[in-house]
Amino acid sequence: MTGHHAAEKNGLHGIAVSSGIIIGKARFVDRSSVKILYQYLINDDHIQREVDRFREALRVTEDQLTTLKTRIPDQGQEHAFILDSCLLMLKDGMLNEATVKRILDEQINAEWALKKSLEEIRKIFDQIDDEYISSRIGDVENVTERILRNLSGDMQEGLEEIQERVIIVAHDLSPADTTELNISKIMGFITEVGGPTSHTAIIAQALGIPAVVGLEGATDLIRDGDLLIIDGNTGQVIVNPDDGAIIRFQEKQLEHEEYKARITRKSHLPAMTLDGHRITVKANMELLDEVVAVKDCGGEGVGLYRTEFLYLRSKGLPSEDELYEDYREVAEIIAPETVTIRTLDLGGDKFSSELEFTRETNPALGLRAIRLCLKEPEIFKSQLRAIFRAGVHGKVRLMFPMISGLQEILDAKEIVDQVTEDLDRDHIQYDPEMKMGIMIEIPSAVTMAEVLAQHVDFFSIGTNDLIQYALGIDRVNEHVAYMYQPFHPAILRMIQKVVNAARNAGIGVSLCGEMAGDPLCVSILLGSGIDELSMNPRAIPLIKTMIRSLSMDEARKDFENVVCLNTAREVRAYLLDHMKGVLPELLEKKYLEA
């Protein structure tokens, strides 16, 4: 996989997930545990603020535990006492007032003071000569850990505070961490874990930060302050490069910038094939701020608004009004184009402690997305109300994620009916004509596509998850990243089946997985009959440029030809051969090397 890069001294090779080349200093960040604590003194002016911060963390912890308690199913009620005892602990003077006293007396930060209180309690427990009681120190530790987590939420240790221009080196960054990166300071990042369609990767791309993931051993090899070169186009990372390498990569950097400028010039114009077929190219987005990139890159609307991140970012659940304001702003900015708002898709690698029922062994297969929403109708309804209300201010479509079969559509629609009835009753304005669609990203939905098409207004194929579930690979695991194969014949045949089902039912079908923005896939996706592509905004300029040099006639032939091949490798070879002259030279070289 490394090709000629292996020759580079001090070179590492990972999975390139966000393009661009940067040279800068390493900043080591440990996000794997809240136990890494900062200890610092607080001056008189800020001491009351520190006490307030601690009390607020106690309050949030109490709310979380109370919510968790209400979620214990009837058959598990005998375990509720554990949460009761945790709630009591929060009120215990040794944890609570003793910590406040420490902050005030010793003028130290809340985390440090709380740690000291925990040590004190631990000493007392150690002296108790009763195995049961002394074993309960684990509960005290759990509660303390939770308070610490809630405190650090406030403190944003590290990421937001970094004031120099650096390259982040971490074992892992969660998608939520990534949304916090201060992009005027963070030049790029590398992580040891992660796959090509992990949400951390997707967000790095949306923010335009070069990134390489799956770099095993990086945190052992790289020291804080090391000079690094990151090539987000190839996945190459060089530690403490010599002058020759620096010059070589500076040239590559220039070449990349020129190439980007060239393809961006026409990104606002429509994408029309040589034989006159107009293809709609929309953008995916995760946070309100990205709406600027959608516009700048020439997105013709938003084909997928991933709404999870607002939930991951806020403390507690966002209110209906907060959601409404957010959706309304996006709808207004994107109007007259359409915004497809996907309902909450928490779970998998997008994780919120607020909505955590129990830690799941298999989060990708767990209580996530639409399943979670159907189980927690109040959370679902609040989001649906916000979406329907926002529909008045632009063109909004509603989309449900992770649909596995008809029942979930019927159940979701029933809740939608309740929501619109409530809005009518309360005389609140909403869009009564809102179109409703589903993500096709679970193989069972592909099998049932003909049936599902009778019940919705559109399909959007989510290949990130479809590949994960169809090929049985965890999309965030770097060890199976080589199996992320959009060209797998099984995936191509699934796409074909979904497009045919949509066509026969007369509904629209789009594709919004990372595959939509993959230059090697453009021709076959057009040829498959998909009406609309939605992708990371940064991919739009190139995809539009490529569509302009393709003919629909040829694209159809390409699709017919590849769909009957037997392996992903054959499909890829076919495409590399047939896309000569359409793929930019720079990319062609890269693909041939890989």
Our answer to whether residue 4 is catalytic in this structure is no
Could you say which of 144, 219, 307, 463 contacts ligand PEP (CB under 6 A)? 463
Could you say which of 8, 111, 172, 345 contacts ligand PEP (CB under 6 A)? 345
Our answer to whether residue 512 is catalytic in this structure is yes
Beta carbon nearer to ligand PEP, 16 or 143 = 16
Number of chain positions touching Mg ion (CB under 5 A): 3
CB of 386 to Mg ion, least distance (A): 21
CB of 281 to ligand PEP, least distance (A): 15
CB of 587 to Mg ion, least distance (A): 26
| Contact status: 465 vs ligand PEP (CB under 6 A) | yes
- Cα distance between residue 147 and residue 153, in whole Å: 10
CA 201 to chain centre: 8
Candidate ranges 148-156, 289-297, 315-323, 459-467; the one touching ligand PEP (CB under 6 A): 459-467
Choose the contact partner of 306 out of Mg ion, ligand PEP, none; CB within 5 to 8 A by kind.
ligand PEP
Candidate ranges 197-205, 433-441, 483-491, 532-540; the one touching Mg ion (CB under 5 A): 433-441
Helix (H) or strand (E) holding 169: strand 166-170
Tokens of 379: 């959370």
Helices (H) and strands (E) in the chain, counts: 25, 17
Number of chain positions touching ligand PEP (CB under 6 A): 10
CB of 402 to Mg ion, least distance (A): 7
Beta carbon nearer to Mg ion, 31 or 342 = 342
**Contact status, residue 215 vs residue 190, Cβ threshold 8 Å:** yes
Could you say which of 188, 232, 437, 462 contacts Mg ion (CB under 5 A)? 462
Sort strands 532-535 and 278-285 into parallel, antiparallel or unpaired. Answer: parallel
- Cα distance between residue 140 and residue 147, in whole Å: 11
- Cα distance between residue 67 and residue 379, in whole Å: 13
**153-192: contacts with ligand PEP (CB under 6 A):** none
Candidate ranges 99-107, 322-330, 387-395, 454-462; the one touching Mg ion (CB under 5 A): 454-462
Query: Strands, E, within 394-529: which ranges?
Result: 395-400, 435-440, 458-461, 508-511
Could you say which of 513, 517, 519, 541 contacts ligand PEP (CB under 6 A)? 513
Candidate ranges 131-139, 237-245, 414-422, 458-466; the one touching ligand PEP (CB under 6 A): 458-466
**13-52: contacts with ligand PEP (CB under 6 A):** none
Catalytic residue (choose from 13, 86, 199, 488): 199
Could you say which of 464, 485, 510, 545 contacts ligand PEP (CB under 6 A)? 464
Choose the contact partner of 391 out of Mg ion, ligand PEP, none; CB within 5 to 8 A by kind.
none
Could you say which of 51, 440, 512, 571 contacts ligand PEP (CB under 6 A)? 512
Residues 6+ apart with CB under 8 A from 256: 19, 20, 21, 233, 586
Could you say which of 172, 177, 192, 465 contacts Mg ion (CB under 5 A)? 465
| Contact status: 306 vs ligand PEP (CB under 6 A) | yes
Binding mask 266-305 for ligand PEP (x = CB under 6 A): --------------------------------------x-
Tokens of 147: 């308070």
Measured in degrees and rounded to the nearest 5, phi and psi for residue 282 equal -110, 175
Tokens of 546: 């490529």
Amino acid 439 reads M
Choose the contact partner of 337 out of Mg ion, ligand PEP, none; CB within 5 to 8 A by kind.
none
Determine whether 590 is exposed, middle or buried from the number of CB atoms within 10 Å of its CB (0-12, 13-18, 19+): middle
What are the DSSP calls for 536-552, one per residue?
-GGGHHHHHHHHHT--H
| Contact status: 532 vs ligand PEP (CB under 6 A) | no
CB of 235 to ligand PEP, least distance (A): 20
Candidate ranges 24-32, 171-179, 463-471, 529-537; the one touching Mg ion (CB under 5 A): 463-471
CB of 441 to ligand PEP, least distance (A): 5
**Contact status, residue 42 vs residue 54, Cβ threshold 8 Å:** no
CA-based nearest residue to 126, from 107, 140, 114, 115: 140
CB of 170 to ligand PEP, least distance (A): 21
Neighbours of 499 (CB within 10 A): 21
Catalytic residue (choose from 86, 297, 512, 521): 512
Peptide bond just before 489 cis, omega within 30 deg: no
11: left (phi over 0), alpha (psi -120 to 50) or beta: beta
Residue nearest to ligand PEP according to CB distances in the complex: 462
* Long-range contact pairs involving 220-225 (C-beta distance under 8 Å, separation at least 24): 221/12, 222/26, 222/28, 222/169, 222/190, 223/26, 223/28, 224/26, 224/27, 224/28, 225/25, 225/26
- Residues in touch with Mg ion (CB under 5 A): 441, 462, 465
Looking at the annotation, which residues are catalytic? 199, 512
Binding site for ligand PEP (CB under 6 A): 304, 306, 345, 441, 462-465, 512-513
